[in-house]
Structure 1
Amino acid sequence: MASFRGLDIRPTSDLVREAIFDLIGQDFTGAKVLDLFAGTGVLGIEALSRGASRVLFIDHSAKSIKLIKRNLSLCGMDLSGIALKRDLAKGMPWRHPLLKQRIDLVFLDPPYRKGLILPLLEALCEKKILASSSIVVAESSKNEMLPESVQDLQKFKTRVYGETKIDIFKSGGNE
């Protein structure tokens, strides 16, 4: 896959990506996925390679969106992924057709120490777009603390890899 050169980005390392999928499972057949603050799109593309049917990639950078589209094309997944340019600090694109369906898996990998994870978790719950068994993976600095629960989401795993912390939440069922 293509990657960034010289841009201010912190892509998920191979070690952390492998650890995430070891923690959340390997088979996502038919899953609908959100990859928020997508960067290179590596997490969403990995989910597609494990059977996900659709991934909506969102990032504020036009260069990221271009790179995600290139990576989808290189992997032969152009028809399964949608890359959307949006500043998530200003809110989610709730009118997007994929967000009218129940989402099975969400990756949240915002810039560290910006306080963006909790408001997005709350918004995902309030809009009731998460499937009854959704998994939400939040990547943050090891020093950032997230609550044990956010509305219908319950934290069930936390792991630290160097400076990176992974918090995994499961939906308690809102269908």
Structure 2
Amino acid sequence: MRIITGKARGLHLNVPKNYDVRPTADRVKESLFSIIGSKVVGAAVLDLFAGSGNLGLESWSRGARFVQFVDNSRMSLQLTDSNIRKCRAEADCKVLKHDAEAAVDLLYKQGQRFDLIFVDPPYNKGWVQKILAKLEKNQLLAENGWLVAEHSAHDDIADAVPESYEIFRNRQYGETVLSFIKRIL
């Protein structure tokens, strides 16, 4: 697993030694960032279910101004922390050990808003739907912001998208689906 482009281009990230964390494959990540394009430049990014920090650090490398990582696993956050240090991105990154739903509440109460939110939870456990429900109440996504959900092809999230949001693009890569969701005002 590596940073594809930007200021940390080619840097190999530390990866988990077990299968509790499922990092986004390089080809899926490359496609995701090709779709996002320059939207990441100057963005505030939230990487929920951070795992190894792969998506957030790719965003930072491509010009995001700030990345907030959230995970509930101490092991995942240690991995994320080590990758942040490896990238020398400490000044632009924060790590929060918290349940994803509770983190949405906390970050909203703190007044934070994000231009990009990555939701890459364990597959087929209803997490994307839970986060979408939380975001309906706690508007963490900035105006014109995008949420990118990575989920299983068997996990239909269309019915869980709140009325103030819309899926504007889906891409499937084998078992993995990327759903691009934006706020509609």
Whether these two folds match at TM > 0.5 is yes
Q: Does 1:6 align with 2:6?
A: no
Do the aligned residues in 1 keep the contact of 2:104 with 2:134 (CA within 8 Å)? Answer: no
Note if contact 1:157-1:169 (Cα within 8 Å) is conserved in structure 2.
yes
SS at match of 1:73: helix
Residue 49 of structure 2 corresponds to residue 33 of structure 1: no
- Tell me the equivalent position of 1:79: 91
Query: Does the Cα contact within 8 Å between 2:21 and 2:76 map onto a contact in 1?
Result: no
Shift of 1:102: 2.0
The one of 164, 170, 174 aligned to 2:182: 170
**2:134 counterpart residue number:** 123
Identify which range, 144-153 or 91-100, moves more after superposition. Answer: 91-100
Which of 149, 156, 159 pairs up with 2:171? 159
Q: State the 1:97 CA deviation.
A: 8.0
Structure 1 position 108 matched with structure 2 position 91: no
| Partner SS for 1:20 | helix
**Contact 2:104/2:138, CA 8 A, preserved across alignment:** no
Q: Distance in 1 between matches of 2:109 and 2:91?
A: 13
Residue 65 in structure 1 maps to residue 77 in structure 2: yes
The answer for unaligned runs of 5 or more in structure 1 is none
- Distance of 1:41 and 1:159 partners within structure 2: 22
- How far apart in 1 are the matches of 2:173 and 2:57? 21
Q: Secondary structure at the match of 2:17?
A: coil
**Matches of 1:172 and 1:87, distance apart in 2:** 27
CA distance, structure 2, for counterparts of residue 45 and residue 39 of structure 1? 11
Identity of aligned residues (%): 37
How many corresponding residue pairs? Answer: 172
Structure with greater helix share of residues: 2
Question: In the alignment, is residue 20 of structure 1 matched against residue 32 of structure 2?
Answer: yes
So what's the TM-score if we normalise by structure 1? 0.90
**Secondary structure, aligned partner of 1:17:** helix
Larger deviation, residues 5-14 vs 43-52: 5-14
Contiguous gaps of at least 5 residues in structure 2: 1-12
- In the alignment, the residues of structure 1 paired with residue 103 and residue 158 of structure 2 have an alpha-carbon distance, to the nearest angstrom, of 21
- In terms of mean alpha carbon deviation, does 124-133 or 107-116 score higher? 124-133
Deviation at 1:30, TM superposition (A): 2.1
Q: Distance in 1 between matches of 2:104 and 2:113?
A: 15
2:58 is aligned with what amino acid? E
Q: CA deviation at 1:27?
A: 4.5
